[in-house]
Amino acid sequence: MKNTILFFIIAFLAINPLSADLSNVFVDQGLLKYKSGDFLNAKFLFKKALKMNPDNAIAWEHYDNAIIKLDALVKRTKNLVLVPKFDIKYDEIKMTDISRFKQRYIKISGRIKNMSDLGFEKIVVKLILLKNERRIKTLDYIIENLTPGSQRTFSFNKLVPAFTSYEIKPKVMKER
């Protein structure tokens, strides 16, 4: 399709060379890129048009617009938090020792909030049980579709081996 259009443009220019401004071919390609949101390539194509014809007012107008859009994107992305960042709040932490069996019943619940500007398809909240600073067991709670600024609940209710300490760590499994 693009080749057919380009062929007709070249054929038209060959027939009528006095009214031809080849820079408009790049302006048209730049407009397609601009409309699709590809401002960087649009700017490049408008600049190409201006090299061919520095008096092309339409190319200048769209070149300026592409630069303004690129500048806005840069300013907007400077304030984004593009690394996973979470805030964890605990609602309940209960532990009951069952010393006869050398086990402990745990009930830990809370909320995890996405503090970044990224969305996550899958987060695993890991409860890591430690005994004398060595990992003895890890439990996972899966959270799906955690959008920027949103929060979800998690909970662990389980009979586990006796432990001396624990850690809760969110792990990103899949970004959006």
Q: What is the CATH number of the domain that holds 58?
A: 1.25.40.10
90 and 167 co-located in one domain: yes
Q: What is the pLDDT of residue 19?
A: 44
Q: Which among 39, 59, 78 is the end of a domain?
A: 78
- The pLDDT, as a whole number, for residue 18 is 44
**CA nearest neighbour of 124 among 161, 89, 152:** 152
Are 74 and 102 in the same domain? no
pLDDT, averaged in runs of 10, over the chain (176 residues)? 62 52 90 90 92 92 90 73 83 92 93 88 93 94 91 95 92 76
Residues 96 and 51 in one domain: no
Contact 142, 122 (CB under 8 A): yes
What 3-state class would DSSP assign to 56? coil
pTM of the model: 0.54
CA dist 12 → 7, 18, 22, 47, 55 (Å): 9, 11, 11, 23, 22
Domain end call among 78, 103, 136: 78
Supply the pLDDT for residue 40. 87
Instruction: Please tell me whether residues 10 and 30 are part of one structural domain.
Output: yes
The residues that bridge with 130 in the sheet, in sequence order, are 135, 165
For residues 132 and 169, state if they share a domain.
Answer: yes
Structural domain boundaries, residue 123: 86-175
* pLDDT at site 71: 84
Q: If you search the block for the tokens 């859009």, which residue do you land on?
A: 69
